[in-house]
A and B are shown apart, each in its own frame.
Chain A
Amino acid sequence: MSPVSRGFRRKREAAPADRVPPGQYVTKDFPVLSAGPTPHTPLSTWTFSIDGGREPLSWTWEEFRALPAETLTTDIHCVTRWSKLDTMWEGVSLDVLLGMVDYDARYVLAFSDGGYTTNLPVADLLGGKAWVAFGYGGAPLGAEHGGPARLLVPHLYFWKSAKWVRGLQLRDTEVPGFWENYGYHIYGDPWREQRYAGD
C-alpha cells in the first residue's frame, strides 16, 4: 500500500457533470501527446485517400480544401482523463468524403503519417459525427496538434482522432489500431468509460 502524499491531488477544475464523462477532469490546456515525431509533410505532396471501396479515391490538398467544410464546437475527451470543453474546429465531414465512395465495408482503419493507426466502425464516422479537421480555434491546425489535418471523432476517446491522418482503409473485418493492439478498448466510448479492452 503506497503512503498518501498529503495534499496531493490530480489536476481538476469544476465542470458540469452532464458534460464530463466519468473519471475525467476538465482542463484549459491542450496537451501535446504524441507517440512519435511531428511529421512535416509538405502540402504539395499531401493526399487523403480512402481505399477498399469499389475504387480507391484520393484528394490532393487543393481538392480537399475545395470540398464543403463546416465549423463546429465540441468537447473532447482523452483516455488519459483530461477533457477540454467547447473546442472549435473546422473540417470536412466524413459524410461528404465517404459519400463519394461506393463501398459496403463496416469498419475502417485510419492511418497517419508516421505510421499511427486507429480503428473505427464506419457507422461512427457517419451522421455528422466525424470530420477531417484542418482548422482549430479559428486558425489552421498546428502541426503539434495534428496539422495539416487530423481525424476528429469527438464522441469517442481522443486517441481515435488520429493526428496527421492521411486516409482510411475500408475493411470488412475490424482490425485493431496502434493503441488497441496494446490493450486499449476496441471502441472507446467515454460515456461508458471504455478505456481498456474488457471494460
Chain B
Amino acid sequence: MDDNAVDGNAIGGLMMAVFGTEMTTAVATCGSCGAVSQVAELPVYMPGLGIVVRCRSCESVLMVFTGVRQVTCVDLMGLASLG
C-alpha cells in the first residue's frame, strides 16, 4: 500500500453518516478483479478534493466521496458488492 494512503478505518465516520450504520467491517468486492476485503483494510486516499477508496489488490477505484455545497456525492460503481 502507498505510504500516503490511510485505510477504511479513517472514513468510518463519513460512511456511518452516509450509510446510517457502521461500515468498517462491511465486505467490499472489487468490480474489476473480484478481490474481497473488509472496508477497514482498503487503501483510502484523501487529496482534499474528495476521498478515493481503492481495491487492495488491483488499486482500481471502488468508491469516491466528494462534498459539494454541503451535498455528499457518493460513487460506488467500482464495487461489485458492499455488505
Query: Do the two chains touch directly in the complex (Cβ atoms below 8 Å apart)?
Result: yes
Instruction: List A residues at the B interface (Cβ < 8 Å).
Output: 31-38, 78-80, 114-115, 144, 159, 179, 182-184, 196-197
Once bound together, how far apart are the Cα atoms of A144 and B4, in whole Å? 9
Once bound together, how far apart are the Cα atoms of A54 and B4, in whole Å? 40
Query: Which residues in window 37-57 of B have CB below 8 A to A?
Result: 43, 45, 47-50, 52, 54
Task: Specify the main secondary structure of chain A where it touches its partner.
Answer: loop
Residue of A with least CB distance to B49: A179
Q: Chain B residues near A35 (CB, 8 Å)?
A: 45, 47, 49-50, 52
Contact B69 A36 (CB under 8 A): no
Decide yes or no: A197 and B47 within 8 Å by CB, A32-B4, A36-B54 being known contacts. no
Contact A196 B2 (CB under 8 A): no
B75 interfacial by beta-carbon distance below 8 Å: yes
Q: C-beta contact mask, B1-45 vs A, less than 8 Å → 1, else 0? A: 110110000000000000000000000000000000000000101
3 A-B pairs with least C-beta separation: A80-B48, A33-B47, A37-B2
Once bound together, how far apart are the Cα atoms of A108 and B61, in whole Å? 23
Q: Chain B residues near A183 (CB, 8 Å)?
A: 66, 68, 73
A-B contact pairs, 20 of them (CB 8 A): A33-B49, A34-B2, A34-B4, A35-B45, A35-B47, A35-B50, A36-B2, A36-B59, A37-B2, A37-B5, A37-B54, A38-B2, A38-B4, A78-B48, A114-B59, A179-B49, A182-B50, A183-B68, A183-B73, A184-B49
Query: Smallest distance from the beta carbon of B8 to chain A beta carbons, Å?
Result: 15
Residue of A with least CB distance to B64: A182
Residue of A with least CB distance to B51: A35
Once bound together, how far apart are the Cα atoms of A182 and B59, in whole Å? 19
Once bound together, how far apart are the Cα atoms of A116 and B60, in whole Å? 11
Q: A31-B48, A35-B45, A144-B4 are in contact. List 5 more A-B contacts (CB 8 A).
A: A32-B4, A36-B54, A80-B48, A182-B50, A184-B66
Once bound together, how far apart are the Cα atoms of A38 and B1, in whole Å? 10
Contact B61 A182 (CB under 8 A): no
Q: Chain A residues near B54 (CB, 8 Å)?
A: 36-37
Q: Chain B residues near A80 (CB, 8 Å)?
A: 47-49
Q: C-beta contact mask, B55-83 vs A, less than 8 Å → 1, else 0? A: 00001110010101100010100000000
Residue of B with least CB distance to A82: B48
